[in-house]
Amino acid sequence: MRIDFPRAWGLFAPRALALSALLLLSSTACDDGFEAHPGSDAHGDSLTDLMDAELLDDSKLDGAHDSEEDTFVPPQFYPPRTDDFACNTAKRVAACDSALLHDGAPIPSDPSDLLTLVNRWYAAPDDFPVPAGSVWTPCDGTEPGFTHNLVCVPSTYSNGPKPLRADAWETQSPADIPLTYDGLPIGSRGVVGFRGLLEAARIEGGFEILVTSGFRSFQTQTELHEYYVQAELNGGLSEAEARIYASTYSARPGHSEHQLGVTADLIYRRNGALYPGLDEAMGDSDEFQWVMANAHRFGIVLTYGQSKVATTQYVYEPWHFRYVGVQAANEMRRCDLNTEEFLDARYGLEPLPAYEGDYVILWSDARFVEHLTLPPGSKAAPGEHLVKTWRVQNNGTTNWWNLKLVNVGGDLSPVETDVYCVLAGETVDLSVELDAPATPGFANGLWQLQDETGLVFGDVLQLSLSVE
């Protein structure tokens, strides 16, 4: 689950201040061949380990894979969609022909099932897979006296001692599924799971990607969640507000996918330097672009996507990946459904009920990027037919779904344009068609996006003309 605050949210300053005192400690070798931070209790994802591994930082390392040579970059175009399919979960579910969605499966009673649903509403048992109150992990190097299926990730693939479930770390590639739905080879060297993914990242992409957080017991998640609640309290929030804010980026005990043991937060090392925290910018790196393009080959999916905030009710986490098995991962990606959407449909569940913290994590915004046609000061003949195009980014956390680009001022024709679907984070080229005024002179027009309630938002888009 997420361990940092969106940097744009001023109310999250207490967490940033709380973490600013923590330094990312260099690892030292343990007797068992794995690494732990000095002073760590070697419980794998202990609270100290998690804090060390997941500092918030506004910086980003220089790209090791960036070319120093100037190369020709062809112009990019971002045409708007002509329907709302990508924004409409119900339509995507209806169009998905996956057998996993239509086999009438009940919600698993066994939490070790790879398709167990854990979210804001459904929880894992307190005593799975270790007894309630225990912080034991296999990275301790001790025998616990109870049955488990956890392993310690080798230090070459982890940032400190990190446990995962054995099948999520390494499973033999299925012989009956040689290729992904889009024609990519399944697994690498006969292995799927996180080991296969991380090995392939090094072999195929030259990327050093590491597990920085894996299995967390119910007790560890309790301690972590309460740490964040306290940080919010220290920042001046009330008890109720602190719990709401903390629960938008840290799951309550029992409701974290990390407790299942099949989920890992990933980080990367470049030129010997570890990326200095977990933040949304990681999703734009070459390393994580590779992971997102290849994870389904290894039975792995991204849970908290940028366009899925309203669905999951958690902030965007480009580092949080879950092993669900090769078949499910491919069906989820092919149908553009994340675990929340896919498992709700599989088990015949309604979407999550409204969440009291939505006001913290959901907002609509639009950022002007550039003028593509008719830049300021353009000239037009009287009555000339014009097409004005702006490049705009959806820099909010909600998808633009069945909106309109409407005229909000000026003396140009008040035309409007339908905007069917733009996912959070996407860039789109939006246009209006109109005729220049019949009378010479200066003319100006202003447009903004408008939602179905009539609310306008985002940057104002301007067209100014000299008609002559």
Residues with a catalytic annotation lie at 317
Q: Can you give the C-alpha Rg of the chain in angstroms?
A: 25
CB contact at 8 A, 332 and 301: yes
Give the Cα separation of 312 and 316 in Å (integer): 9
Task: Please check whether residue 252 is in contact with residue 273, taking contact to mean a CB–CB distance below 8 angstroms.
Answer: no
For residues 136 and 43, is the Cβ–Cβ distance under 8 A? yes
Q: Are 328 and 293 in contact (CB under 8 A)?
A: no
SS3 content of the chain, % helix, strand, coil (to 5): 25, 25, 50
Helix ranges, 296-409 (H): 309-312, 326-334, 339-346, 358-361
Helices (H) and strands (E) in the chain, counts: 12, 19
CB 456 within 8 A of CB 420: no
d(CA 116, CA 164): 16
Cβ count near 322 (within 10 Å):
24
Do residues 451 and 422 lie in contact, with contact meaning Cβ atoms separated by under 8 Å?
Answer: no
Peptide bond into 163 cis (omega under 30): no
Sequence-distant (6+) residues with CB within 8 A of 89 are 311, 337, 341, 351
